[in-house]
Amino acid sequence: MPALLTALEEDIRKPQTPAEILQAAATREIALSRLLTLYISTGLFFMLLPGTFLGVWNLLAISGRQAANSVPPAWIQAHGHAQVFGWIGTFILGIGFYSIPKLRHADSFGLRVMGVAWGLWTSGVALRWLANVYLWQWRALLPLSAGLELAAFVIFFRTVSGHRPQDSGREKLDEWVFVVIAGTAGLLLALAINFGTAVHLALAGKSPAIAADFDQSFLVLQAWGFLVPFVWGFSAKWLPIFLGLRPVKGRVLWLAVALNSLGVLAAFLHGLKTAAFLLLAGMAAAVYSLNLFARTVRPPKVKGVHRAFPGFVRVAYVWALIAAGLGVWAAAAGNAAGIAGASRHALTAGFLALMVFAVGQRVLPAFAGAHLLFSARLMLASMLLLTAGCTLRVGAEILAYQGYLPSAWSWLPASAITEMAAVTVFAANLLLSFAVTPRLERV
Ligand code: HEM
Protein backbone atom coordinates (compact mmCIF):
# COMPACT_ATOMS: atom_id res chain seq x y z
CA MET A 1 0.00 0.00 0.00
CA PRO A 2 2.65 2.67 0.91
CA ALA A 3 4.54 1.68 -2.28
CA LEU A 4 1.39 2.23 -4.35
CA LEU A 5 0.83 5.65 -2.75
CA THR A 6 4.43 6.72 -3.31
CA ALA A 7 4.10 5.69 -6.95
CA LEU A 8 0.91 7.75 -7.23
CA GLU A 9 2.64 10.78 -5.75
CA GLU A 10 5.52 10.48 -8.17
CA ASP A 11 3.12 10.02 -11.07
CA ILE A 12 1.08 13.14 -10.36
CA ARG A 13 3.18 16.30 -10.64
CA LYS A 14 1.94 19.80 -11.53
CA PRO A 15 1.42 19.77 -15.35
CA GLN A 16 2.71 22.75 -17.40
CA THR A 17 1.86 22.31 -21.12
CA PRO A 18 -1.45 21.04 -22.69
CA ALA A 19 0.25 17.71 -23.45
CA GLU A 20 1.35 17.43 -19.83
CA ILE A 21 -2.17 18.31 -18.65
CA LEU A 22 -3.63 15.48 -20.78
CA GLN A 23 -0.92 13.13 -19.60
CA ALA A 24 -1.59 14.08 -15.96
CA ALA A 25 -5.34 13.44 -16.41
CA ALA A 26 -4.62 10.00 -17.86
CA THR A 27 -2.18 9.25 -15.03
CA ARG A 28 -4.77 10.25 -12.40
CA GLU A 29 -7.40 8.06 -14.08
CA ILE A 30 -5.01 5.09 -13.99
CA ALA A 31 -4.12 5.81 -10.35
CA LEU A 32 -7.83 5.94 -9.45
CA SER A 33 -8.45 2.67 -11.30
CA ARG A 34 -5.58 1.03 -9.41
CA LEU A 35 -7.09 2.10 -6.11
CA LEU A 36 -10.50 0.80 -7.21
CA THR A 37 -8.86 -2.52 -8.13
CA LEU A 38 -7.40 -2.61 -4.61
CA TYR A 39 -10.85 -2.09 -3.07
CA ILE A 40 -12.47 -4.71 -5.33
CA SER A 41 -9.73 -7.31 -4.74
CA THR A 42 -10.01 -6.73 -0.97
CA GLY A 43 -13.79 -7.18 -1.17
CA LEU A 44 -13.29 -10.43 -3.09
CA PHE A 45 -10.89 -11.66 -0.41
CA PHE A 46 -13.44 -10.99 2.36
CA MET A 47 -16.17 -12.61 0.27
CA LEU A 48 -14.16 -15.79 -0.33
CA LEU A 49 -12.41 -16.61 2.96
CA PRO A 50 -13.75 -14.81 6.04
CA GLY A 51 -17.22 -14.67 4.40
CA THR A 52 -18.19 -17.67 2.31
CA PHE A 53 -15.64 -20.18 3.59
CA LEU A 54 -16.77 -19.58 7.19
CA GLY A 55 -20.44 -19.62 6.04
CA VAL A 56 -19.92 -23.01 4.38
CA TRP A 57 -18.11 -24.30 7.48
CA ASN A 58 -21.00 -23.15 9.69
CA LEU A 59 -23.60 -24.70 7.39
CA LEU A 60 -21.78 -28.05 7.25
CA ALA A 61 -21.73 -28.12 11.07
CA ILE A 62 -25.42 -27.16 11.26
CA SER A 63 -26.50 -29.81 8.76
CA GLY A 64 -24.21 -32.47 10.33
CA ARG A 65 -25.80 -31.94 13.77
CA GLN A 66 -29.24 -31.18 12.31
CA ALA A 67 -29.56 -28.17 14.61
CA ALA A 68 -29.58 -24.49 13.64
CA ASN A 69 -28.08 -23.46 16.99
CA SER A 70 -25.12 -25.85 16.90
CA VAL A 71 -22.64 -23.13 15.81
CA PRO A 72 -21.50 -20.32 18.15
CA PRO A 73 -23.42 -17.09 17.34
CA ALA A 74 -20.08 -15.23 17.25
CA TRP A 75 -19.02 -17.34 14.25
CA ILE A 76 -22.30 -16.76 12.41
CA GLN A 77 -21.97 -13.02 13.07
CA ALA A 78 -18.31 -13.09 11.92
CA HIS A 79 -19.50 -14.57 8.61
CA GLY A 80 -22.33 -12.03 8.28
CA HIS A 81 -20.07 -9.04 9.10
CA ALA A 82 -17.43 -10.18 6.58
CA GLN A 83 -20.04 -10.51 3.82
CA VAL A 84 -22.01 -7.33 4.51
CA PHE A 85 -19.16 -4.94 5.39
CA GLY A 86 -16.07 -6.80 4.14
CA TRP A 87 -17.38 -7.76 0.73
CA ILE A 88 -20.29 -5.58 -0.37
CA GLY A 89 -19.33 -2.65 1.89
CA THR A 90 -15.79 -2.53 0.47
CA PHE A 91 -17.17 -2.68 -3.10
CA ILE A 92 -19.56 0.20 -2.32
CA LEU A 93 -16.85 2.39 -0.78
CA GLY A 94 -14.49 1.73 -3.72
CA ILE A 95 -17.14 2.45 -6.37
CA GLY A 96 -18.33 5.49 -4.37
CA PHE A 97 -14.83 7.02 -4.28
CA TYR A 98 -14.22 6.12 -7.92
CA SER A 99 -17.46 7.77 -9.07
CA ILE A 100 -16.70 11.21 -7.60
CA PRO A 101 -15.62 13.46 -10.50
CA LYS A 102 -13.69 15.59 -7.97
CA LEU A 103 -11.15 12.81 -7.47
CA ARG A 104 -10.34 12.98 -11.19
CA HIS A 105 -8.98 16.49 -10.59
CA ALA A 106 -7.45 15.70 -7.23
CA ASP A 107 -3.78 15.93 -6.40
CA SER A 108 -2.00 13.01 -4.79
CA PHE A 109 -3.54 14.04 -1.43
CA GLY A 110 -7.08 13.32 -2.69
CA LEU A 111 -6.03 9.87 -3.82
CA ARG A 112 -4.05 9.26 -0.63
CA VAL A 113 -7.27 9.85 1.33
CA MET A 114 -8.90 7.00 -0.61
CA GLY A 115 -5.93 4.78 0.33
CA VAL A 116 -6.09 5.75 4.02
CA ALA A 117 -9.84 4.97 4.11
CA TRP A 118 -9.05 1.55 2.60
CA GLY A 119 -6.46 0.86 5.35
CA LEU A 120 -8.81 1.84 8.19
CA TRP A 121 -11.81 -0.03 6.76
CA THR A 122 -9.90 -3.21 5.95
CA SER A 123 -8.21 -3.37 9.38
CA GLY A 124 -11.56 -2.73 11.08
CA VAL A 125 -13.37 -5.55 9.25
CA ALA A 126 -10.43 -7.97 9.63
CA LEU A 127 -10.11 -7.30 13.39
CA ARG A 128 -13.82 -7.93 13.89
CA TRP A 129 -13.53 -11.32 12.21
CA LEU A 130 -10.46 -12.27 14.29
CA ALA A 131 -12.11 -11.16 17.55
CA ASN A 132 -15.30 -13.12 16.83
CA VAL A 133 -13.60 -16.30 15.63
CA TYR A 134 -10.52 -16.54 17.91
CA LEU A 135 -11.83 -14.55 20.91
CA TRP A 136 -8.28 -13.20 21.37
CA GLN A 137 -8.38 -9.83 23.22
CA TRP A 138 -11.94 -9.42 21.97
CA ARG A 139 -12.86 -6.80 24.59
CA ALA A 140 -10.23 -4.48 23.09
CA LEU A 141 -10.50 -5.54 19.45
CA LEU A 142 -14.28 -5.20 19.14
CA PRO A 143 -14.50 -1.43 19.87
CA LEU A 144 -11.22 -0.83 18.02
CA SER A 145 -12.57 -2.57 14.93
CA ALA A 146 -15.88 -0.65 15.06
CA GLY A 147 -13.98 2.64 15.58
CA LEU A 148 -11.74 1.99 12.58
CA GLU A 149 -14.76 1.24 10.37
CA LEU A 150 -16.47 4.42 11.54
CA ALA A 151 -13.31 6.48 10.90
CA ALA A 152 -13.08 5.09 7.35
CA PHE A 153 -16.72 6.00 6.78
CA VAL A 154 -16.17 9.57 8.03
CA ILE A 155 -13.34 10.01 5.49
CA PHE A 156 -15.56 8.55 2.75
CA PHE A 157 -18.48 10.76 3.73
CA ARG A 158 -16.40 13.97 3.85
CA THR A 159 -14.98 13.22 0.41
CA VAL A 160 -18.33 12.31 -1.14
CA SER A 161 -20.33 15.11 0.51
CA GLY A 162 -17.86 17.71 -0.82
CA HIS A 163 -19.07 16.74 -4.31
CA ARG A 164 -21.55 19.24 -5.85
CA PRO A 165 -23.74 18.65 -8.94
CA GLN A 166 -21.76 21.31 -10.86
CA ASP A 167 -18.67 19.06 -10.40
CA SER A 168 -20.30 16.79 -12.95
CA GLY A 169 -21.63 19.70 -15.05
CA ARG A 170 -25.28 19.12 -13.92
CA GLU A 171 -27.54 21.42 -11.90
CA LYS A 172 -30.05 18.90 -10.51
CA LEU A 173 -29.38 15.58 -8.81
CA ASP A 174 -31.05 12.50 -10.32
CA GLU A 175 -33.38 10.32 -8.24
CA TRP A 176 -30.83 7.53 -8.00
CA VAL A 177 -28.49 9.88 -6.10
CA PHE A 178 -31.07 10.37 -3.35
CA VAL A 179 -31.59 6.62 -3.09
CA VAL A 180 -27.84 6.14 -2.70
CA ILE A 181 -27.87 8.91 -0.05
CA ALA A 182 -30.58 6.91 1.80
CA GLY A 183 -28.26 3.86 1.63
CA THR A 184 -25.37 5.98 2.93
CA ALA A 185 -27.51 7.10 5.88
CA GLY A 186 -28.32 3.42 6.52
CA LEU A 187 -24.61 2.57 6.47
CA LEU A 188 -23.79 5.40 8.90
CA LEU A 189 -26.55 4.27 11.26
CA ALA A 190 -25.39 0.65 11.04
CA LEU A 191 -21.79 1.62 11.80
CA ALA A 192 -22.81 3.89 14.68
CA ILE A 193 -24.99 1.15 16.23
CA ASN A 194 -22.20 -1.34 15.62
CA PHE A 195 -19.81 0.95 17.53
CA GLY A 196 -22.24 1.42 20.45
CA THR A 197 -22.90 -2.33 20.59
CA ALA A 198 -19.17 -3.12 20.47
CA VAL A 199 -18.45 -0.77 23.38
CA HIS A 200 -21.35 -2.24 25.35
CA LEU A 201 -20.13 -5.83 24.71
CA ALA A 202 -16.57 -4.90 25.64
CA LEU A 203 -17.72 -3.45 28.98
CA ALA A 204 -20.49 -5.84 29.97
CA GLY A 205 -20.71 -8.75 27.49
CA LYS A 206 -19.85 -12.40 28.11
CA SER A 207 -18.74 -12.99 24.51
CA PRO A 208 -18.28 -10.88 21.35
CA ALA A 209 -21.66 -12.10 20.03
CA ILE A 210 -24.51 -9.60 19.83
CA ALA A 211 -27.65 -10.74 21.73
CA ALA A 212 -29.97 -12.73 19.42
CA ASP A 213 -33.04 -10.46 19.73
CA PHE A 214 -31.17 -7.25 19.06
CA ASP A 215 -29.14 -8.91 16.29
CA GLN A 216 -32.34 -9.65 14.34
CA SER A 217 -33.33 -5.95 14.25
CA PHE A 218 -29.74 -4.93 13.55
CA LEU A 219 -29.67 -7.36 10.59
CA VAL A 220 -32.79 -5.71 9.15
CA LEU A 221 -30.95 -2.37 9.27
CA GLN A 222 -27.80 -3.82 7.64
CA ALA A 223 -29.63 -5.66 4.87
CA TRP A 224 -32.72 -3.53 4.19
CA GLY A 225 -31.57 -0.16 5.52
CA PHE A 226 -28.08 -0.14 4.03
CA LEU A 227 -27.55 -2.70 1.23
CA VAL A 228 -31.00 -2.70 -0.41
CA PRO A 229 -31.20 1.10 -1.04
CA PHE A 230 -27.67 1.05 -2.49
CA VAL A 231 -28.64 -1.70 -4.94
CA TRP A 232 -31.85 0.16 -5.84
CA GLY A 233 -29.85 3.35 -6.42
CA PHE A 234 -27.27 1.68 -8.67
CA SER A 235 -30.15 -0.15 -10.43
CA ALA A 236 -31.89 3.16 -11.14
CA LYS A 237 -28.64 4.58 -12.53
CA TRP A 238 -27.49 1.68 -14.69
CA LEU A 239 -30.37 -0.66 -15.52
CA PRO A 240 -32.35 1.66 -17.85
CA ILE A 241 -29.20 1.89 -20.01
CA PHE A 242 -27.94 -1.70 -19.71
CA LEU A 243 -31.34 -3.38 -20.05
CA GLY A 244 -32.98 -0.81 -22.38
CA LEU A 245 -35.72 -0.12 -19.80
CA ARG A 246 -38.17 2.79 -19.78
CA PRO A 247 -37.08 5.73 -17.58
CA VAL A 248 -37.39 5.11 -13.84
CA LYS A 249 -40.66 6.24 -12.22
CA GLY A 250 -38.96 8.64 -9.80
CA ARG A 251 -41.89 9.25 -7.44
CA VAL A 252 -42.62 5.54 -7.07
CA LEU A 253 -38.94 4.96 -6.25
CA TRP A 254 -39.20 7.65 -3.57
CA LEU A 255 -42.26 5.86 -2.19
CA ALA A 256 -40.29 2.60 -2.16
CA VAL A 257 -37.52 4.24 -0.12
CA ALA A 258 -40.06 5.72 2.32
CA LEU A 259 -41.85 2.37 2.83
CA ASN A 260 -38.53 0.58 3.21
CA SER A 261 -37.23 3.09 5.80
CA LEU A 262 -40.47 2.79 7.79
CA GLY A 263 -40.10 -1.01 7.63
CA VAL A 264 -36.59 -0.80 9.11
CA LEU A 265 -37.85 1.54 11.83
CA ALA A 266 -40.75 -0.83 12.64
CA ALA A 267 -38.29 -3.73 13.00
CA PHE A 268 -36.38 -1.72 15.63
CA LEU A 269 -39.62 -1.01 17.46
CA HIS A 270 -40.36 -4.78 17.50
CA GLY A 271 -43.32 -4.41 15.14
CA LEU A 272 -42.15 -7.42 13.13
CA LYS A 273 -45.38 -8.01 11.19
CA THR A 274 -45.72 -4.32 10.28
CA ALA A 275 -42.03 -4.28 9.31
CA ALA A 276 -42.38 -7.32 7.07
CA PHE A 277 -45.41 -5.86 5.24
CA LEU A 278 -43.72 -2.48 4.76
CA LEU A 279 -40.54 -4.09 3.40
CA LEU A 280 -42.59 -6.21 0.96
CA ALA A 281 -44.57 -3.14 -0.18
CA GLY A 282 -41.32 -1.16 -0.57
CA MET A 283 -39.68 -3.89 -2.66
CA ALA A 284 -42.78 -4.24 -4.87
CA ALA A 285 -42.80 -0.46 -5.40
CA ALA A 286 -39.09 -0.46 -6.28
CA VAL A 287 -39.56 -3.25 -8.85
CA TYR A 288 -42.49 -1.35 -10.38
CA SER A 289 -40.56 1.94 -10.43
CA LEU A 290 -37.65 0.36 -12.31
CA ASN A 291 -39.94 -1.01 -15.09
CA LEU A 292 -37.99 -4.26 -14.88
CA PHE A 293 -40.82 -6.40 -16.17
CA ALA A 294 -42.39 -3.84 -18.55
CA ARG A 295 -41.70 -3.78 -22.31
CA THR A 296 -38.20 -2.48 -23.05
CA VAL A 297 -37.54 0.52 -25.31
CA ARG A 298 -34.06 -0.43 -26.56
CA PRO A 299 -32.09 -3.65 -26.96
CA PRO A 300 -29.95 -4.48 -23.89
CA LYS A 301 -26.24 -3.66 -23.92
CA VAL A 302 -24.61 -7.09 -23.57
CA LYS A 303 -21.41 -6.55 -25.58
CA GLY A 304 -18.51 -8.21 -23.75
CA VAL A 305 -20.73 -9.95 -21.16
CA HIS A 306 -23.03 -12.97 -21.33
CA ARG A 307 -26.32 -12.30 -23.14
CA ALA A 308 -28.19 -13.85 -20.19
CA PHE A 309 -27.13 -10.82 -18.08
CA PRO A 310 -30.52 -8.98 -18.29
CA GLY A 311 -32.36 -12.20 -17.42
CA PHE A 312 -30.29 -12.73 -14.26
CA VAL A 313 -30.88 -9.13 -13.13
CA ARG A 314 -34.60 -9.88 -13.30
CA VAL A 315 -34.06 -13.20 -11.46
CA ALA A 316 -32.29 -11.25 -8.69
CA TYR A 317 -35.32 -8.97 -8.27
CA VAL A 318 -37.61 -12.03 -8.19
CA TRP A 319 -35.40 -13.29 -5.29
CA ALA A 320 -35.87 -9.92 -3.60
CA LEU A 321 -39.65 -10.30 -3.79
CA ILE A 322 -39.39 -13.91 -2.54
CA ALA A 323 -37.21 -12.71 0.38
CA ALA A 324 -39.75 -10.06 1.33
CA GLY A 325 -42.64 -12.56 0.96
CA LEU A 326 -40.85 -15.10 3.17
CA GLY A 327 -40.29 -12.30 5.70
CA VAL A 328 -44.07 -11.80 5.90
CA TRP A 329 -44.59 -15.57 6.30
CA ALA A 330 -41.95 -15.77 9.07
CA ALA A 331 -43.46 -12.82 10.96
CA ALA A 332 -46.98 -14.29 10.69
CA ALA A 333 -45.96 -17.86 11.63
CA GLY A 334 -43.95 -17.05 14.80
CA ASN A 335 -41.20 -19.45 16.00
CA ALA A 336 -40.03 -19.65 12.39
CA ALA A 337 -36.22 -19.46 12.44
CA GLY A 338 -36.00 -21.57 9.26
CA ILE A 339 -38.36 -19.31 7.29
CA ALA A 340 -36.63 -16.16 8.59
CA GLY A 341 -33.21 -17.66 7.72
CA ALA A 342 -34.47 -18.58 4.25
CA SER A 343 -35.77 -15.03 3.80
CA ARG A 344 -32.38 -13.60 4.82
CA HIS A 345 -30.50 -15.91 2.45
CA ALA A 346 -32.92 -15.19 -0.43
CA LEU A 347 -32.13 -11.51 0.10
CA THR A 348 -28.36 -11.70 0.68
CA ALA A 349 -27.40 -14.44 -1.80
CA GLY A 350 -30.40 -14.45 -4.20
CA PHE A 351 -30.81 -10.68 -4.55
CA LEU A 352 -27.72 -8.81 -3.34
CA ALA A 353 -25.01 -11.29 -4.36
CA LEU A 354 -26.66 -12.09 -7.71
CA MET A 355 -26.96 -8.34 -8.48
CA VAL A 356 -23.27 -7.88 -7.62
CA PHE A 357 -22.39 -10.87 -9.82
CA ALA A 358 -24.46 -9.56 -12.76
CA VAL A 359 -23.82 -5.81 -12.64
CA GLY A 360 -20.32 -6.15 -11.13
CA GLN A 361 -19.05 -8.27 -13.99
CA ARG A 362 -20.68 -5.77 -16.40
CA VAL A 363 -19.07 -2.60 -14.98
CA LEU A 364 -16.06 -3.38 -12.78
CA PRO A 365 -13.51 -4.53 -15.38
CA ALA A 366 -14.15 -1.30 -17.32
CA PHE A 367 -13.94 0.92 -14.22
CA ALA A 368 -10.78 -0.76 -12.96
CA GLY A 369 -8.62 0.34 -15.88
CA ALA A 370 -10.88 -0.26 -18.91
CA HIS A 371 -10.33 -4.01 -18.94
CA LEU A 372 -12.63 -6.40 -20.76
CA LEU A 373 -14.41 -9.16 -18.83
CA PHE A 374 -12.18 -12.24 -18.93
CA SER A 375 -14.93 -14.73 -19.82
CA ALA A 376 -18.65 -14.36 -20.54
CA ARG A 377 -19.05 -18.12 -20.00
CA LEU A 378 -17.56 -17.94 -16.51
CA MET A 379 -19.98 -15.07 -15.85
CA LEU A 380 -22.87 -17.34 -16.86
CA ALA A 381 -21.47 -20.21 -14.75
CA SER A 382 -21.18 -18.00 -11.64
CA MET A 383 -24.77 -16.73 -11.96
CA LEU A 384 -26.20 -20.20 -12.70
CA LEU A 385 -24.35 -21.82 -9.78
CA LEU A 386 -25.44 -19.07 -7.39
CA THR A 387 -29.08 -19.35 -8.48
CA ALA A 388 -29.02 -23.16 -8.16
CA GLY A 389 -27.27 -23.08 -4.76
CA CYS A 390 -29.60 -20.42 -3.43
CA THR A 391 -32.72 -22.31 -4.57
CA LEU A 392 -31.47 -25.45 -2.82
CA ARG A 393 -30.55 -23.56 0.35
CA VAL A 394 -33.76 -21.53 0.66
CA GLY A 395 -35.90 -24.63 0.04
CA ALA A 396 -33.88 -26.85 2.39
CA GLU A 397 -33.71 -24.26 5.16
CA ILE A 398 -37.50 -24.01 5.32
CA LEU A 399 -38.09 -27.77 5.04
CA ALA A 400 -35.29 -28.89 7.40
CA TYR A 401 -35.14 -26.16 10.08
CA GLN A 402 -38.95 -26.08 10.40
CA GLY A 403 -39.14 -29.89 10.61
CA TYR A 404 -41.37 -30.27 7.52
CA LEU A 405 -39.01 -32.72 5.76
CA PRO A 406 -36.08 -34.05 7.83
CA SER A 407 -34.28 -35.48 4.77
CA ALA A 408 -33.78 -31.86 3.58
CA TRP A 409 -30.92 -31.52 6.14
CA SER A 410 -28.81 -33.55 3.71
CA TRP A 411 -29.35 -31.02 0.88
CA LEU A 412 -27.64 -28.22 2.80
CA PRO A 413 -24.01 -29.31 2.18
CA ALA A 414 -24.74 -29.49 -1.57
CA SER A 415 -26.14 -25.95 -1.48
CA ALA A 416 -23.08 -24.70 0.42
CA ILE A 417 -20.61 -26.28 -2.03
CA THR A 418 -22.57 -24.99 -5.06
CA GLU A 419 -22.55 -21.44 -3.66
CA MET A 420 -18.86 -21.72 -2.75
CA ALA A 421 -18.19 -22.72 -6.37
CA ALA A 422 -20.27 -19.75 -7.58
CA VAL A 423 -18.33 -17.16 -5.57
CA THR A 424 -15.00 -18.73 -6.55
CA VAL A 425 -15.87 -18.55 -10.27
CA PHE A 426 -17.06 -14.94 -9.85
CA ALA A 427 -13.86 -13.92 -8.04
CA ALA A 428 -11.64 -15.74 -10.55
CA ASN A 429 -13.39 -14.09 -13.50
CA LEU A 430 -12.92 -10.59 -12.06
CA LEU A 431 -9.33 -11.14 -10.92
CA LEU A 432 -8.41 -12.65 -14.31
CA SER A 433 -10.06 -9.67 -16.01
CA PHE A 434 -7.86 -7.29 -13.98
CA ALA A 435 -4.72 -9.38 -14.48
CA VAL A 436 -4.85 -10.86 -17.95
CA THR A 437 -6.92 -8.82 -20.37
CA PRO A 438 -4.98 -5.92 -21.93
CA ARG A 439 -5.94 -2.32 -21.08
CA LEU A 440 -7.91 -0.47 -23.73
CA GLU A 441 -6.46 2.72 -25.19
CA ARG A 442 -7.37 5.75 -23.07
CA VAL A 443 -6.86 9.48 -23.47
C1 HEM B 1 -22.40 -18.07 -0.26
C2 HEM B 1 -22.75 -18.95 0.60
C3 HEM B 1 -23.27 -18.67 1.99
C4 HEM B 1 -23.37 -19.60 2.97
C5 HEM B 1 -23.01 -21.07 2.86
C6 HEM B 1 -23.90 -18.93 4.12
C7 HEM B 1 -24.15 -19.55 5.34
C8 HEM B 1 -24.75 -18.96 6.41
C9 HEM B 1 -25.20 -19.63 7.61
C10 HEM B 1 -25.06 -21.12 7.89
C11 HEM B 1 -25.75 -18.72 8.42
C12 HEM B 1 -26.35 -19.00 9.83
C13 HEM B 1 -27.84 -18.84 9.86
C14 HEM B 1 -28.56 -19.94 9.15
O15 HEM B 1 -28.47 -21.10 9.55
O16 HEM B 1 -29.21 -19.61 8.14
C17 HEM B 1 -25.65 -17.43 7.77
C18 HEM B 1 -26.06 -16.25 8.29
C19 HEM B 1 -25.84 -15.03 7.69
N20 HEM B 1 -25.35 -14.80 6.43
FE21 HEM B 1 -24.72 -16.19 5.14
N22 HEM B 1 -24.12 -17.61 3.83
C23 HEM B 1 -23.74 -17.40 2.52
C24 HEM B 1 -23.82 -16.21 1.84
C25 HEM B 1 -24.08 -14.99 2.39
C26 HEM B 1 -24.02 -13.71 1.72
C27 HEM B 1 -23.71 -13.53 0.24
C28 HEM B 1 -24.29 -12.76 2.64
C29 HEM B 1 -24.34 -11.26 2.50
C30 HEM B 1 -24.11 -10.57 1.45
C31 HEM B 1 -24.55 -13.42 3.89
C32 HEM B 1 -24.88 -12.80 5.08
C33 HEM B 1 -25.30 -13.44 6.21
C34 HEM B 1 -25.79 -12.76 7.38
C35 HEM B 1 -25.90 -11.25 7.55
C36 HEM B 1 -26.12 -13.75 8.30
C37 HEM B 1 -26.68 -13.54 9.71
C38 HEM B 1 -25.58 -13.24 10.67
C39 HEM B 1 -26.12 -13.00 12.04
O40 HEM B 1 -26.92 -13.82 12.54
O41 HEM B 1 -25.75 -11.96 12.63
N42 HEM B 1 -24.39 -14.78 3.70
N43 HEM B 1 -25.05 -17.60 6.54
The residue whose CA has the least distance to atom 41 of ligand 1 is 77
Q: Is the pLDDT of residue 440 over 90?
A: no
DSSP class of 208? S
Instruction: Choose among 282, 260, 273: nearest CA to 327.
Output: 273
Is the pLDDT score of 62 beyond 60?
yes
Q: What pLDDT is recorded for position 441?
A: 46
Q: Residue 247's pLDDT band (boundaries 50, 70, 90)?
A: very high
Give the pLDDT of residue 166. 52
> What is the pLDDT at residue 194?
98
Residue 443 has pLDDT above 70, yes or no: no
Instruction: Tell me the per-residue pLDDT of 363-381, one tens digit each, with 9 for 90 and over.
Output: 999 988 778 999 999 999 9
Determine the atom of ligand 1 nearest the C-alpha atom of 422.
1
Q: Ligand 1 pocket, 62 CB below 6 A?
A: yes
> How far is the C-alpha of 415 from the C-alpha of 397, rounded, in Å?
10
Q: For ligand 1, is residue 398 a contact (CB within 6 Å)?
A: no
Residue 172 pLDDT exceeds 80: no
The number of beta carbons lying within 10 Å of the beta carbon of residue 165 is 12
Question: Measured on CA atoms in the order 20, 22, 28, 34, is the torsion positive or negative?
Answer: negative
Q: What is the pLDDT of residue 442?
A: 46
Dist. CA 14 → ligand 1 center (Å): 48
Contacts of 336 (CB under 8 A, 6+ apart): 329, 330, 402
Q: What digits encode the pLDDT tens for the residues 25-35? A: 777 888 888 99
Pocket lining: 52 vs ligand 1, CB cutoff 6 Å: yes
Q: Which of 70, 83, 128, 201 to mutate to test the pocket of ligand 1 (most atoms within 8 A of CB)?
A: 83
- Contact, 326 vs 397, CB < 8 A? no
Query: What pLDDT score was predicted for residue 335?
Result: 83
- pLDDT higher than 80, residue 311: yes
- Asked if residue 5 has pLDDT above 80, the reply is no
pLDDT tens string 333-343:
988 999 999 99
Expressed in angstroms and rounded, the spacing between residue 56 Cα and the centre of ligand 1 is 9
Give the 3-state secondary structure of residue 335. Answer: coil
- Going by pLDDT thresholds of 50, 70 and 90, the confidence category of residue 401 is very high
Please work out whether the CB of residue 425 comes within 6 Å of at least one atom of ligand 1.
no
Integer Cα distance of 144 and 327 in angstroms: 34
Residue from 95, 58, 62, 87 nearest 74 by CA: 58
